[in-house]
Each structure stands twice: as C-alpha cells, then as structure tokens.
Amino acid sequence: MSDWKQIRAKRESVCEICKSVFKVGEDIFWSRSRSVIRCTKCFEGAQDQDVVSIGKAGSSAQSEFEKRNNARRERVLKNYPKTGKFALKIIKAANSTTSWEKGAKAEREVGELINSFALKHGFKAMHDRAVPGSKTNIDHIIVSKTGIFVVDTKNYEGKIRVKKEISRGGKEVENLYINEYKKNDLVKKVKVQTELVQSVLHEAGLFYPVYGTLAFFHGEFPLIRRPMQVDGIFINGRGLEKLVTENIPGIEININKAFEILSKTFKDR
C-alpha cells in the first residue's frame, strides 16, 4: 500500500476500522489520499488481501493509460527525432488518454476504501474482474451480509443530480444528470453487470439480492443527501459503507460461498 505512511500522530486520532484512540506522538499509519489513519494491527491486517479481497483495483485502466501513452511517445519520437523529447515535455496527452489515468486513480482509492470497511464488517471484495467473453471489466464486487454490490467507479467532476421527468410515453421517470448532461448510459452499463452477477449466483442456486451502484469519486452531490436510484441502480452520494450496511434484505447470506462462486467466474484481467 504505497499510499500509506507510518507517522507520529500530531493530534488525537481515531483508527478508521477499530476506532482505537491515539494520543499525540503515538505511531499510526496515515493514508495520503484519504486522510484517514489506522492502528498497526488494522493496517497489517489489511495487507493480507486473501482475507479481505482479491484483484488489484484500477489495474485495467492503468494498463490502458500506459499503452496509449507509450504509443503516443513512440509516435512523437518517430515523427520528430530531434525535438520529440522536448515536445513530450510541453505537449500534454489527449484527454482520451489522461482520462484512463484519472479513472485508474479513482478505482484504486475506492478499492482501498472498500477494503477498509470490508475488513471492519467482515465482508469480502473483488476488484477489476474480467467479464467472460468480453473485453470489459467490473470495477468492484462487494460480498456482504446484506447482499452483493456491483460497483462502477466514475471520476467525473461536477454536479451529480437525479431528476424526475416525464417520458415520451407520459410516464414519470428518473434520469441521471452530470453537469446538466443526461448520462443514463452509465446506468445501463452497471445494470447489465448487475444482472450478469445475479445470473451467475442463480445458476449456482444462490438467490441473493444483487445491487448495482455508481460511485462518483469527485462528484458534487446536493447538501441534503437522500438515497438516489435510477432504474434500480444506486447513485452513491452518501458513502458506500453506509449504503452496504444499511440495505438489509432480511435473509442470511453465506459470504464465503458467494465469494467463491463469483471469483471462479469473474477472474483477474
């Protein structure tokens, strides 16, 4: 976990997992990206990924960024053998390339967050899972006591809103908007992933509830954050941990069994 650094507490601090309190000067582990701390026991426990999760969050997006960036570098150096290295320093890569790097960063940090509360609540998780017969992937799958959550991470900036509108057929519908642009295509994607995960469980005889979630890493949500859904997909504005622990279906879920079945179908990219 390169994001974590061992430091001495500069003020009274609380471990995000076990809630132990540490006084000024005591050794703690601090996350640069999330500005949270862990005690030594919880930090070391999270290192054992077999206990909490499998897969490396954001690895597919990072690989795509590196592939595109390397292709750009080779192209520039070939076309401009004398000035290419200078051009690479001053000319930024296209948004279509850098967006993959931003997406990878968001997935890594959301993955770290998921692992933290999976450890805290006894859940399991898997990250960057390949979809059989497809080039696509599922960012995260959380297997919890309350259900299975398929999480698609998005690094969009700006206002995230769900608006009730009247469709062409005269029915009231809810639509997802990002900076006033309708983005229901994001909902459709995670809905397909959710149905696929559910079908895998059904084939194994496990009729557990499966929930789709869009997790916006840098989105701006309304001050009053109510639960939001579009076509049955949660639009996460109140925090993944709150969503996963609150949504209790009233049935007993065998976490280890569900995790084992899903990990056999959705493998590493």
Question: For residues 51, 52, 58 and 59, what is the CA-based torsion angle, rounded to 10 degrees?
Answer: 10
Among 6-20, 111-125, 211-225, 239-253, which is the least confidently predicted range?
239-253
Q: Express each pLDDT in 245-261 by its tens digit.
A: 876 666 778 999 999 99
Is-contact 161 149, C-beta < 8 A? no
Does 50 have pLDDT greater than 50? no
> Residue 88: inside a domain, yes or no?
no
Q: How many structural domains compose the chain?
A: 2
> Residue 250: inside a domain, yes or no?
yes
Q: Alpha carbon of 16 to those of 41, 59, 244: distances in Å?
A: 12, 25, 17
Q: Express each pLDDT in 213-243 by its tens digit.
A: 999 877 888 876 777 889 999 998 768 888 8
Q: What is the CATH number of the domain that holds 14?
A: 3.30.60
Is-contact 164 172, C-beta < 8 A? yes
> Residue 83: inside a domain, yes or no?
no
Among 49-58, 62-71, 94-103, 235-244, which is the least confidently predicted range?
49-58
**Residue 178 belongs to what domain range?**
52-57+106-265
Confidence of residue 1 (pLDDT cuts 50, 70, 90): very low
Does 2 have pLDDT greater than 70? no
* 3 state DSSP class of 55: coil
Same domain flag for 130 and 244: yes
Using a cut of 0.85, tell me whether the model's pTM lies above it. no
Same domain flag for 224 and 123: yes
> Residue 12: inside a domain, yes or no?
yes
Same domain flag for 132 and 250: yes
Region 133-157 average pLDDT = 92
> Residue 8: inside a domain, yes or no?
yes
Same domain flag for 119 and 204: yes
